[in-house]
Chain A
C-alpha cells in the first residue's frame, strides 16, 4: 500500500516537472489567442529561448542571466510574429510556422558559430543552472506519515521555475478576468471593431498580448534547457509547443482549465515512463508504442465529446482591418 502511494506521489512529482514548460507555453498562447492572434510559433519560441538560455548561462555562468536573455530572445520572436501578422496583416498561421522554422535553423547555425558544435551547447556545471530547492520544514514534517512523504517528495525539491509556473496561472486568471487590460484583451479577441470604436488601439493591445506571451515562452524555454536539463540539444523542445496549443484548446482558453489540461498531459507522460516494462495482469507487458500513443489517443477521445465543444475567440486568426 505504502509502495503504491509512494509510486503515485513520485509520478505526480514527475508530472510537475514535465508540465511546467507546457504551462508557460499555453499561458503565452492564451494571451495571444485571447487577443485574436493565433500563435502556432510557441514551439519556435520555446526552442529559441531554450537555446539562448543555455548559451547565456554557459557564457556568463548564471542561470538568471540565461533566463533574462531567453525572455529577450523570445520577445524578439514574438515581435516578428506581431509585425508580420498585426502590422502587415499577414496570415497568422504562416507567420507562426515561419517562426518555428527560423528557430529550428537558427539554433543549429548559432551553435555551430558560437560553440563549434551543431545543435549542442556546453554542459552547465553546478549553479550555472536552476537547481532544486528544498523547502523549509521538510525535516519537521517528515515525521508525519503520508503528509511527510507528500511534502518531501511532491511539494519540496523542485526548482524555482516550477513554482513560478504554478504561481503564474492565478496571476494570468487575475489579469484576464479582473483587470481593465484583461477586459480589453478579451474584447479585442471577440470583437475588435467594438474595441476600435471605443477609441482603443486594436494593434496596441495585440502587441501587448504577444509581448506577454513572449516573456512567458522565454521562461518556459529557459526551464527546458537550464532547469530540467543542463544544456541545449538539437530540437530539444520535442513538440511541447504544439502540445501546449492542444492544452489551450482542451482547456477552452481558460487559465485554470488549461492548467488542468497541461497537468493531465504531464501526468500521462510521467505515467508512461513508469508503466513501461511493468507487467499487468491479463494484458501482460504493455508495448512501448501503446504507451507512447496513450496521451494522443486520450486527447482525441476527450476532445471528441467528453469536454463539449471548444469555441475559440471569435476574431482569432483574423487580422483587423480598419474600415474608413
Chain B
C-alpha cells in the first residue's frame, strides 16, 4: 500500500500533475488509447464564455453567441443554473477545461472522466473518426474566425451577419450523412481558397448559362430534367455550390458554418455512449486509485456521492424527470456489458451469445468504437437493464384521445422497448427530413424543398422564418412542399420576394 497523493480539498498544479500521472498509468493498464492531454484551468466566467461559444475554444463573432452568453450569465447569477465541472474539446491534443472552483477530488474526477474517458472516445469512435479531424479543428476555427472578421472589415458587419444568420438557420441541414467528408486543415484551406472561389463561381455560371432560353425551349418543357437529379439532403452544401447570386466570400461563409456543423454532428449522435463511456471509466479509475491506497476514504466518499448524483435516473412521475438521463443510461449499459462478459447468466447467454463470457475490455472497446447511440441501444440494451429502469413505452397518436401503453418490462416487451428506445436516438426520426427537391432552372429559378413527415409529425410554425433565411441565400423564391403518407404533395409553404 502506498501513501495517498493528497488529503485536503485544495488543489495545486503539482497535485494535478501527480494525479494526472497516476490516472494515466491506470488508464494505460486498462488500454485506453487517448490523444495527449492539454488541461486548462479556467474561472467560472471563462466557463460562461466557453458555454456561449458551444465549447469551441475559438469562435467567430456573432450576436447569437452573445445572446447565449447573456442568458447563461443571467441564469448563473440568479442561481438557476450550475456550471459544468468541465468542458472537453475533440482536438489533438485534447483540450479539457477545469474550473478553479472544483475541489481536488473534482479535478481528479474530471481528469479521469474527460481527459481519459471522453478523450479515448473521441479518438476511437467511428463517427468521430469519420466526421471530424482532431488534428485540424483548432486551426480551422482560427481560420474561420479570421476569415469572417476579414469579411466584416471588407463588406460590413451587417452583410456578414445576414449570411451567418441564414446559415445558422440551416446548420442542421449541412451534413452529408453518407459520404465521408474531407478533413479540414487551415493551411490547405488557405491554399484552396482562391482556387475554390474562382472554380465555384464558374460552376454556378455554367449551370445558369444553360438556362438562357433557346428556341426549342418550349417544346422541351415537358421533359425538363429535375435539377438536382437526386434530392439533396445537405441543403447548405447545395446552396454553397449552386446558389446563383452568392458572392464567393458568401459561399465561403456558408462553407464555414457547414463545416463547423459537421464537426458537432457526431456529438449529437453519441451522447449516451460518450457519457456512459466516460462515467464507466472514471468510476473504474477512481476505484483503482482507492484500491491502491492513493486516495483517502474521504476522497472516495466525496467521489461516490458526486458519481451517484450524475448517474441517477429520476422516474417518469418525479418532479426531476426530464427525459432519460444519458449519463445514467450510458453508464448502466457500459457496466452491464462488463457484467455480461464477466458473469453472464442464462438470459444473457440467450440474448448475447456473442459477448457473454468474452473478454470485457475488448468487448467494451469494440462497442465504443463501432456504434452510435441508436445502434448501441438496439444492440446492447439487456432485458435486465430494462427491468432495472422499469422501462415502458407509450404510443401517443394525435388522432386518439387516449395514450396507449405499448409494452412494459416483461418478456413480451423487451424487443419492442429496445427498438423504441433506439428510435428515440435516431436523428433521422427526430429531425425533420427535408431535402432539396427541384430547381426551376428554366423558369423563375424557384427552389423547391420537400418535407417527408415521419409518423405524420408536422413541422413547427417557424418554418416560414427559416424559409426566409433560405430565400436570402438562394436569392430567388423558395417553396416547401410537405408530402402526405401517399407521397403526394399535401401543403406548400412559399417564400417569395
A and B from one complex: no
B residues apposed to A, CB below 8 Å: none
A residues apposed to B, CB below 8 Å: none
